[in-house]
Amino acid sequence: MTYLAKLRELNPLVHNITNIVVANFSANGLLALGASPFMADAHEEVADVAAMSGAVVLNIGTLNEQLIASMVLAGQSANQHNVPLVLDPVGAGATAYRSEVTQRLLKEMQITALRGNVAEVANVAGESWASKGVDAGAGDGDVIALANKAALKLGSVVIITGKEDVITDGSRTFIVSNGHPVLTKVTGTGCLLSAVVGAFLAVSEGNGLEAAAEAISFYGVAAEIAAELTAHKGPGDFQIEFLNQLAMVTPQIYSEKSRIRLFNQ
């Protein structure tokens, strides 16, 4: 049975503390997929929401100190209640503040998975990579080595997305080659993906690496079909069709189109 089928059967609650750009898109994407989104960031309630959820997803896209305090409370509650925890360190490395906040969060909690672009993960790993705001710049470093370094440092699954995606726990590494370039023309596709990883981790029963790889590949398959159906249109139509496909890609379609390979060292 795929994690996708299990997710649709169990409809896990996914607690998101995310940015103002993507909150609506993330909630709609999770609903379309078959999860149950809960966007909550008040410090008075985040520990309770995290405790009752199947996964918690923290995203620093539009950060401020109040939000970070809530993220610490939610992350620590997730840890106490064995709830999988995802961090999307949006823009880490782009400003000193984002880098510092990311380190602070990682010190205060144990995450299950980190999902970012190559520049963000490089920053977490203590390396540097060009960036332009929240987007990764071009570079010619070893992306797999970077992902491994970050995974060993954090003791978590690390996912670096881009044209090809790298998913590793520092010991085994999967490469996913699904996806479509039009994803880069819709804001929040990385952020929604981090939330989708949370939904898959919620039904992973401890197999975080496999569940994360399936999440990434499934997302790419949905994008490929949506891009094909809207090939004669622009990113606006793609965005809507992508939400449709997050709901319509079945485990069978997923299995036919998935391109995941194990990377041999």
* 39 marked as part of a ligand binding site: yes
Following DSSP, what letter does each residue of the chain receive, concatenated? --HHHHHHHH--EEEEE--TTTHHHHHHHHHHHT-EEEE---TTTHHHHHHHSSEEEEE-TT--HHHHHHHHHHHHHHHHTT--EEEE-TTBTTBHHHHHHHHHHHHH---SEEEEEHHHHHHHTT----EETTEE----S-HHHHHHHHHHHHTSEEEEESSSEEEE-SSSEEEE----GGGGGSTTHHHHHHHHHHHHHHTSTT-HHHHHHHHHHHHHHHHHHHHHHTTTS-HHHHHHHHHHHHHH--HHHHHHH--EEEPP-
* Segment interacting with ligand TZP, rule: CB under 6 A, options 16-24, 39-47, 100-108, 166-174: 16-24
Q: Given the complex with ligand TZP, which of 51 and 186 has the nearer CB atom?
A: 186
152 binds ligand TZP (CB under 6 A): no
Q: From the CB of 180, what's the least distance to ligand ATP, in Å?
A: 5
Q: Given the complex with ligand TZP, which of 78 and 191 has the nearer CB atom?
A: 191
Which of 37, 54, 61, 84 forms a contact with ligand TZP (CB under 6 A)? 61
Binders in 157-196 for ligand ATP, by CB under 6 A: 161-163, 165, 179-181, 183-184, 189-190, 193
77 binds, among ligand ATP, Mg ion, ligand TZP, none (CB under 5 to 8 A by kind): none
61 binds, among ligand TZP, ligand ATP, Mg ion, none (CB under 5 to 8 A by kind): ligand TZP
Q: From the CB of 160, what's the least distance to Mg ion, in Å?
A: 11
Q: Which residues bind ligand ATP (CB under 6 A)?
A: 117, 134-136, 161-163, 165, 179-181, 183-184, 189-190, 193, 219-220
Binding region for ATP: 115, 161
Chain positions contacting ligand TZP, by CB under 6 A: 19, 21-22, 61-62, 90, 134, 187-191
